[in-house]
């Protein structure tokens, strides 16, 4: 790591810390952006580095959301009565109860999906290519449909998460959730960056490029695939737990296991930025969030139409993403040595 990148990291960190005070009106949007970046970055471990294009990370996200809220409520009050009252605040968390519950909830929300990923990983990750994609799509939708039928977590009528305690009002709530999600983002970034400097990333890339060959080289591919998935699941669960508290209301198919929105968004963000790079998903998520908010504001009602068109356009015309495009344009910047004659020949070919 050289001096320039240190300046960049510290600059981003400082910007992240002061952002909610510079843009007080956009606190919720910034928190959502942090969560989106976490989701895109962790999807990239799977889809970009390992070549296992999954629609199923939404499973861990939704699981984390339900678990965090359930623990937060269940630690102090009977869960069934809470969900039955559906938004009627018969029970009120004191501030210390709220924060204790949130902390415990987030730990559970991160750990349990990791275990789930480890348990189902052996069965699911044996599938390859599009079978894996469709299977994980099925997992996500099935989880949504089934959780919509379970009474204790609110079934069809949804689950209201505990309201923020009455200290400092709306401002304090926004700041709390912003710093929570920003913390998750920093944690994810440090972890992913550390992972990407190790041999683990090379193994994942080997699996992506040719799994049979990687196995023949003596790599226990299944073990590394499961570990990769567990890392994704950990951060997806954490992001889900935070998002549940931020939104304040959990519905099985529209908020938690929302394969039609969040499940596709994370894939799209990573592809838009460029999969298989560290910065790609982060840039992709930021751009995508701007696009999305623009659609939601200016094309209200038509947002899904615009979204569908956006998906098709991105997938057909920018499958390599922004980073891929930059890499093709300025290969020197990415540490690739380019022969000048070779490049001229390529330009002429085009």
Partner 1 sequence: MDFLVFQYPMITIQACLDGLLLGILFALIAYGMALQWGVMNIINIAQGDLVILGGYIAYFMYLYGIHPAWGVIVSPIIMYFVGIAIYKLVINKVVDRDLFISILATFGISILFMQLMNFAFGADVVLANSGYGTTMLFDNNVVLPNSKIFSAFISIVFAICLVVYMKRSKLGRAIRATAQNARAAKILGVDTEKVYAATFGINAALCGVAGALISITFTIHPYMGLPYTIRSFMIVIVAGLGNLPGVAMSGMGLGIFEEFADYILGTEFRIGSVFLLLVLILVYRRFKLSRKREYLK
Q: Which residues bind partner 1 (CB under 8 A)?
A: 53, 123-124, 126-131, 133-135, 137-139, 141-142, 144-146, 148-149, 156, 260, 264, 267-268, 271, 301-302, 304-305, 307-312, 315-316, 319
Smallest separation, CB 141 to partner 1 (Å): 5
Smallest separation, CB 254 to partner 1 (Å): 11
The two three-digit tokens of residue 235, written as one number: 């951060």
Helix, strand or coil for residue 159?
strand
- Among 133, 129, 166, 5, which residue's Cα sits nearest to residue 57? 133
Smallest separation, CB 148 to partner 1 (Å): 7
Supply the DSSP symbol for 254: I
The smaller minimum CB distance to partner 1, of residues 238 and 314, is found at 314
- How far apart, in whole angstroms, are the C-alpha atoms of residue 242 and residue 173? 12
The two three-digit tokens of residue 72, written as one number: 């937060």
The smaller minimum CB distance to partner 1, of residues 151 and 171, is found at 151
- Maximum alpha-carbon separation in the chain: 75
Smallest separation, CB 322 to partner 1 (Å): 17
The smaller minimum CB distance to partner 1, of residues 105 and 259, is found at 259
Rounded to 10 degrees, what is the CA torsion of 240, 244, 247, 252? 90
The smaller minimum CB distance to partner 1, of residues 53 and 181, is found at 53
The answer to whether 103 and 78 have CB atoms below 8 angstroms apart is no
Smallest separation, CB 8 to partner 1 (Å): 31
Please name every residue paired with 62 in a beta bridge, in sequence order, or none if there are none: none
Smallest separation, CB 168 to partner 1 (Å): 40
Q: Measure the CA angle with vertex 65, ends 245 and 148; round to 5°.
A: 120
- Among 349, 325, 51, which residue's Cα sits nearest to residue 211? 51
Task: Please measure the distance between the N-terminal and C-terminal CA atoms of the chain and give it in whole angstroms.
Answer: 36
The smaller minimum CB distance to partner 1, of residues 42 and 72, is found at 42
In angstroms, what CA-CA distances link 131 with 50, 54, 128, 209?
A: 15, 10, 6, 17
Smallest separation, CB 224 to partner 1 (Å): 17
The smaller minimum CB distance to partner 1, of residues 66 and 98, is found at 66
The smaller minimum CB distance to partner 1, of residues 75 and 311, is found at 311
């Amino acid at each position: 790591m050289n001096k320039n990148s240190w300046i960049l990291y510290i600059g981003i960190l400082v910007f992240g810390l002061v952002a909610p005070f510079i843009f007080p009106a956009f606190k919720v949007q910034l928190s959502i952006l942090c969560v989106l970046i976490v989701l895109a970055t962790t999807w990239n471990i799977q889809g970009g580095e390992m070549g296992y294009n999954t629609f199923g990370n939404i499973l861990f996200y939704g699981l984390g959301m339900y678990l965090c809220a359930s623990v937060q409520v269940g630690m102090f009050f009977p869960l069934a009565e809470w969900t039955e009252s559906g938004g009627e605040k018969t029970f009120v968390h004191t501030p210390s109860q709220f924060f204790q519950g949130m902390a415990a909830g987030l730990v559970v929300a991160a750990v349990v999906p990791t275990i789930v990923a480890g348990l189902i990983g052996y069965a699911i990750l044996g599938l390859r290519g599009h079978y894996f994609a469709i299977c994980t799509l099925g997992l996500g939708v099935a989880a949504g449909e089934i959780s919509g039928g379970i009474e204790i977590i609110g079934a069809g009528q949804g689950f209201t998460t505990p309201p923020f305690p009455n200290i400092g009002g709306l401002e304090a709530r926004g700041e709390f959730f912003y710093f929570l999600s920003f913390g998750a983002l920093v944690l994810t970034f440090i972890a992913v960056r550390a992972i990407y400097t190790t041999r683990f990333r090379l193994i994942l890339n080997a699996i992506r490029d040719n799994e049979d060959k990687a196995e023949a080289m003596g790599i226990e591919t299944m073990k590394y695939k499961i570990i990769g998935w567990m890392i994704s699941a950990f951060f997806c669960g954490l992001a889900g737990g935070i998002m549940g508290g931020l939104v304040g209301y959990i519905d099985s198919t529209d908020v938690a296991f929302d394969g039609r929105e969040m499940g596709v968004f994370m894939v799209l963000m990573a592809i838009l930025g460029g999969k298989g790079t560290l910065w790609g998903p982060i840039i992709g998520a930021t751009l995508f969030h701007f696009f999305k908010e623009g659609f939601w504001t200016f094309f209200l009602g038509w947002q899904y139409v615009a979204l569908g068109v956006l998906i098709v356009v991105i997938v057909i015309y920018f499958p390599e993403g922004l980073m891929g495009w930059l890499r093709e344009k300025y290969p020197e910047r990415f540490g690739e040595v380019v022969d000048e004659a070779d490049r001229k020949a390529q330009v002429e070919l085009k």
